Amino acid sequence: MKGAHSVKRPEEPKPERKGRGKVVAIVICVILVLALAGTAIFLVMTGKVELPFSMPQASSTSASSSSAASQQEPGQAQPSEASEPTASESSSAAMAEPQVYVNALFGYQLDVPEGFVLGSEVDNGAGVVLTNSALRMTVNVTGYNNVDNLDADAILASLWNGSEDSIARAEGNRVIIYQYDDEYEYFYWVNIGPGSINQMEIRYPLQDDNRDELDAAQLLMQGFIPGDLNAAH
């Protein structure tokens, strides 16, 4: 059909040129429109021409910022500057700084390890009780005046029950005892002075594997600091 069309009507390309002219005109119009749009965008972006509808939005933003700044008191940190500790940081700080108990009457100090609960004071404020339910451990800490002028040997003789494989030592003004009976194992850590005595007793059920209990007892004894033993209270 294409070959026959070209033989019978050789003059047909003229309308085809008119169609091409229309296409060229459309292309030129599109180019002009794009050029005008580009010019307008350039003027707006460079600030030479401001769009009317953009002014209220900018003013609103500026006004809200100014209002927030005016309500902020001098020297007060902005919300973005405030840094609150995260849960992990709080937890780390809590683990790094154990609870410390200081007895107001006798002045001794006691670190409370993790897992232990500090109970109420007893004996009119002279003592305090700690418990650890997981280890079934009870810790009695107390102070009393040395009215009988007891020394380390006298304290040792009064506390030691003579059990086999026990440890009972009097070292200067200190007594250290590990012993047991049919139900419990005990540690005693006693600091003795001419005016007063500070004593810790640790007790937990008798058992074959007591490694966790021994570790806890060591922490407790290391964190037990006596008060002024030269004075009566």
Report how many domains make up the chain: 2
- Stretch among 44-48, 124-128, 179-183, 220-224 having the lowest mean pLDDT: 44-48
| 142 C-beta neighbours (distance < 10 Å), count | 20
Instruction: Verify that 120 and 60 share a domain, yes or no.
Output: no
Q: How large is the average pLDDT for residues 112-141?
A: 96
Closest by CA position to 180, among listed 213, 156, 204: 204
pLDDT digits (tens, 9 = 90+) for 144-199: 999 999 999 999 999 999 999 999 999 999 999 999 999 999 999 999 999 999 99
Instruction: Tell me whether residue 215 is in a domain.
Output: yes
In the chain, what percentage of residues exceed pLDDT 70? Answer: 58
Closest to 197 in 3D by CA, of 142, 153, 158? 142
pLDDT digits (tens, 9 = 90+) for 58-110: 444 444 444 444 454 444 444 444 456 565 555 555 455 679 999 999 999 99
Considering the domain boundaries, does residue 140 fall inside one? yes
Whole-number pLDDT of residue 96: 56
The CATH number covering residue 207 comes to: 3.40.1000.10
Structural domain of residue 109, as residue ranges? 99-225
Does 28 fall in a domain? yes
Report the amino acid identity of residue 101.
Y
For residues 118 and 109, give the distance between their C-alpha atoms in angstroms, rounded to a whole number. Answer: 13
Q: Is 124 left (phi over 0), alpha (psi -120 to 50) or beta?
A: left
For residues 106 and 188, membership in a common domain is answered with yes
The verdict on 185 and 127 lying in the same domain is yes
Q: Are residues 47 and 115 in the same domain?
A: no
User: Which residue is associated with the tokens 């937990």?
Assistant: 204
What pTM did the predictor assign?
A: 0.59
Phi, psi of 79 (to 5 degrees): -55, -35
Cα separation, 79 vs 66, whole angstroms:
15
Based on the fold, state whether residues 51 and 160 are members of the same structural domain.
no
Q: Using the predicted structure, report yes or no on whether residue 46 has a pLDDT greater than 60.
A: no
**Is 73 within a domain?**
no
How many C-beta atoms lie closer than 10 Å to residue 75's C-beta? 5
Asked if the structure places residue 142 within a domain, the reply is: yes
61 and 126 together in one domain: no
C-beta of residue 155 within 8 angstroms of C-beta of residue 175: yes
**Cα dist. 156→32, 105, 152, 203, 224 in Å?**
109, 25, 6, 17, 19
**Do 164 and 113 belong together in one domain?**
yes
34 part of a folded domain: yes
Out of 66, 86, 116, a domain closes at 66
Place of tokens 């700690």: 130
Single residue among 45, 66, 87 that ends a domain in this structure: 66
Q: Are residues 50 and 116 both part of a single domain?
A: no
Helices (H) then strands (E): counts for the chain: 6, 10
Contact 78, 89 (CB under 8 A): no
Q: Report which of 221, 223, 195 is spatially closest to residue 109, judged by C-alpha positions.
A: 223
Same domain, 148 and 47: no
Tracing tokens 């009064």 back to the chain, one arrives at 158
